[in-house]
C-alpha cells in the first residue's frame, strides 16, 4: 500500500511545505527565535494519483474559557491542526456549492443528497505530533525509532553525538522555555545533556581513570534523560485520571482526554489528539455540512513530519485507547469507525521549534509566532492567505471588533453564514431562517448528532461542553 511508505509521506510533506513557502511572509515567523506549526489537507484523485493541497493552517494558540464571546466571531482554537481542518470545511462547502450550480466538483448529487465522488481521498499532514496523548512517550523510544542505541565500544574519545545518534537528527542540547506555548516546553529531546557533552570534549586532558569515571557519569546522565517522557502542556479533563506528576516517566498518565492550555486562562478546547480521534468517527466535515451530505468525509492517511515521534503513542492516541468503547459502538449507518494509516516523514519543517532552536543564536528566547495562517483552495484565498491573531483578523481595530471586518473566514459566525446561504440555495427549509441560531442549525444535522451522542456515551463522556451562550448567536 503506497500510502504506508515513507516515500509517499515525503511526497505529501514536500507538497505541503511547497504550498507554505509559496504564501506571503505575513503571519510566518519573523525572526530567528520564532517558530510555528504547520498542518495541511491534501486531496488525491486515485485514477490519476494527482495530489494537491486544498487547505492549510499554522499556529499554536488558544483562547481562554473566560474570553469566549457570545457572537461566534472569534476563533477559539488556533492550533495548526484545527485551523487547517476549519479551512478544509470551507473548501468542502465551496465544492458542494459547485455541485449545486452544476460545475465541476468533488461531490455529486443523487436523490437530493450529496456524495463524495469515488476515487477521491484525503490525507492529513501535521509538522509535529498532535498535542495531548500522541505526544506522551519515552524519549528513548523515539531515539530507538531513528536507530539510536546507547552502546559504544569505541573508547574514551567517543563524542556524545555518536552515543545518541545521527547528528542530523540530534535535537538541541539546551532546553529553552517558551511563554504561552503549551505543548512544546518539554518536547525537545536530550535537552539536559549539555554538561555531558562538555565532559566528553574535555576527556583528552584526563588520565585513564578519570576518563573511565567521566564516561560512566556521562552515560548515566544521558540514560536518566532517556528514561523520561516527552511532556505535554495539555491538562487532564475533569473526570479523567489525573497526571501523577511524579519524576521521570511517571509524570503523565496516558489515554485520557486533555484540554489545551491558554495564556494564563484555562481553555475548553480539547487537545489535537482528542479532536483527531473524533474526526476518525464523525468525519472532518463537521455537523453543519452533514445536513446535506449523505456520508461523512474521512481522512485516509495521517502524516507526521520529522520530529520526536512514537508510532505506538500515535496508535494509542488516534484509536487504541478507545478500543473497548469502539467495539460496542452502534453508529448510524452513514458513519463508521476509521483507522487511518499513520506514517512519519523524514522531512522536517524549517519553521518548527526544533529547527529554529538549532539555528538560533545562543541565549535566544524561543517564542511561538502569535499569528495563524489560514489558506484554502477557494475564492476566499485566491489572492492571498488570511492571518489571524487572538482569534480575529490581523490588523483588526477596536472599532471593527464585532463587525465582519474582524472575522476570519473560518470562525463559527462566518462558516455558519456561508452554510446558511448554501442551504437556502439548495431549497432546504427550516422553520424560520431569520431566527435561526448556530445551535439550531447544528440541531438539524440529525445523523451527526446521533453519532456524536453515541460516541460521547461510549468513549468521550468527559468531553468539555462550551457554555450555552457561546452557541446561541443568530446566524444572520
Catalytic site positions = 81
DSSP 8-state assignment for residue 221 = H
Cα angle 124, 129, 135 (rounded to 5 degrees) comes to 145
Contact 234, 131 (CB under 8 A): yes
* Pairing of β 371-376 and β 120-126: unpaired
Q: Which residues, other chains included, contact 228 with Cβ-Cβ below 8 Å and sequence gap of 6+?
A: 138, 139, 248, 249, 251
Own/partner long-range contacts of 395-400 (Cβ < 8 Å, ≥24 apart): none
Q: Alpha-carbon distance 350 to 360, whole Å?
A: 12
- Please name which of 202, 199, 206, 203 lies closest in space to residue 221, comparing C-alpha atoms: 199
Q: Which residues, other chains included, contact 6 with Cβ-Cβ below 8 Å and sequence gap of 6+?
A: 343, 344, 345, 346
* Pairing of β 392-393 and β 60-62: unpaired
- Please name which of 271, 269, 265, 280 lies closest in space to residue 252, comparing C-alpha atoms: 271
The x, y and z cell numbers of residue 262, run together, are: 491558554
C-alpha Rg value of the chain to the nearest Å: 24
Q: Which residues, other chains included, contact 375 with Cβ-Cβ below 8 Å and sequence gap of 6+?
A: 19, 23, 55, 56, 57, 87, 381, 385, 386
Contact 184, 234 (CB under 8 A): no
- Please name which of 355, 304, 288, 2 lies closest in space to residue 127, comparing C-alpha atoms: 304
Contact 445, 240 (CB under 8 A): no
The strand pairing partners of 474, in sequence order, are: 437
Amino acid at each position: 500500500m503506497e500510502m504506508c511508505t515513507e516515500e509517499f509521506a515525503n511526497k505529501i510533506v514536500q507538497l505541503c511545505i511547497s504550498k507554505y513557502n509559496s504564501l506571503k511572509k505575513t503571519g510566518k515567523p519573523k525572526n530567528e527565535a520564532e517558530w510555528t506549526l504547520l498542518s495541511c489537507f491534501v486531496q488525491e484523485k486515485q485514477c490519476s494519483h494527482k495530489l494537491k493541497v486544498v487547505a492549510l493552517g499554522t499556529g499554536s494558540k488558544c483562547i481562554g474559557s473566560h474570553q469566549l464571546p457570545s457572537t461566534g466571531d472569534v476563533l477559539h482554537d488556533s492550533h495548526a491542526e484545527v485551523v487547517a481542518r476549519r479551512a478544509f470545511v470551507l473548501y468542502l462547502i465551496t465544492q458542494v456549492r459547485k455541485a449545486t450550480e452544476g460545475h465541476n466538483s468533488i461531490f455529486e448529487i443523487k436523490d437530493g443528497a450529496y456524495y463524495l465522488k469515488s476515487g477521491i481521498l484525503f490525507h492529513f499532514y501535521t509538522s509535529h505530533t498532535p498535542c495531548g496523548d500522541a505526544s506522551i512517550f519515552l524519549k528513548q523510544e523515539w531515539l530507538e525509532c531513528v536507530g539510536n542505541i546507547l552502546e559504544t565500544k569505541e573508547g574514551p574519545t567517543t563524542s556524545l553525538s555518536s552515543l545518541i545518534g545521527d547528528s542530523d537528527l540530534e535535537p538541541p542540547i539546551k532546553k529553552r522555555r517558551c511563554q504561552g506555548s503549551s505543548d512544546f516546553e518539554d518536547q525537545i529531546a536530550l535537552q539536559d545533556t549539555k554538561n555531558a557533552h562538555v565532559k566528553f570534549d574535555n576527556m583528552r586532558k584526563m588520565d585513564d581513570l578519570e576518563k573511565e569515571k567521566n564516561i560512566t557519569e556521562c552515560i548515566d546522565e544521558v540514560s536518566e534523560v532517556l528514561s523520561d517522557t516527552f511532556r505535554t502542556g495539555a491538562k487532564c479533563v475533569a473526570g479523567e485520571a489525573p497526571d501523577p506528576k511524579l519524576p521521570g516517566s511517571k509524570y503523565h498518565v496516558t489515554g485520557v482526554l486533555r484540554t489545551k492550555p491558554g495564556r494564563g486562562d484555562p481553555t475548553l478546547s480539547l487537545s489535537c489528539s482528542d479532536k483527531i480521534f473524533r474526526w476518525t468517527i464523525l468525519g472532518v466535515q463537521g455537523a453543519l455540512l452533514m445536513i446535506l451530505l449523505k456520508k461523512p468525509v474521512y481522512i485516509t492517511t495521517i502524516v507526521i513530519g520529522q520530529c520526536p515521534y512514537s508510532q505506538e503513542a500515535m496508535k494509542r492516541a488516534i484509536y487504541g485507547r478507545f478500543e473497548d468503547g469502539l467495539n460496542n459502538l452502534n453508529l448510524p449507518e452513514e458513519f463508521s469507525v476509521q483507522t487511518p494509516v499513520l506514517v512519519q516523514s523524514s522531512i522536517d519543517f524549517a519553521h518548527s521549534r526544533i529547527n529554529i532552536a538549532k539555528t538560533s543564536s545562543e541565549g535566544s528566547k524561543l517564542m511561538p509566532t502569535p499569528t495563524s495562517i489560514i489558506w484554502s483552495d477557494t475564492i476566499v484565498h485566491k489572492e492571498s492567505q488570511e492571518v489571524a491573531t487572538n482569534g480575529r483578523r490581523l490588523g483588526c481595530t477596536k472599532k471593527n471588533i464585532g463587525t465582519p471586518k474582524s472575522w476570519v473566514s473560518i470562525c463559527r459566525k462566518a462558516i455558519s453564514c456561508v452554510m446558511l446561504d448554501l442551504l437556502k440555495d439548495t431549497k432546504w427549509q427550516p422553520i424560520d431562517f431569520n431566527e435561526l441560531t448556530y445551535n439550531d442549525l447544528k440541531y438539524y444535522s440529525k445523523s451527526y448528532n446521533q453519532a456524536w451522542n453515541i460516541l460521547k456515551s461510549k468513549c468521550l463522556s468527559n468531553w468539555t461542553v462550551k457554555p450555552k451562550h457561546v452557541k446561541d448567536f443568530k446566524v444572520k
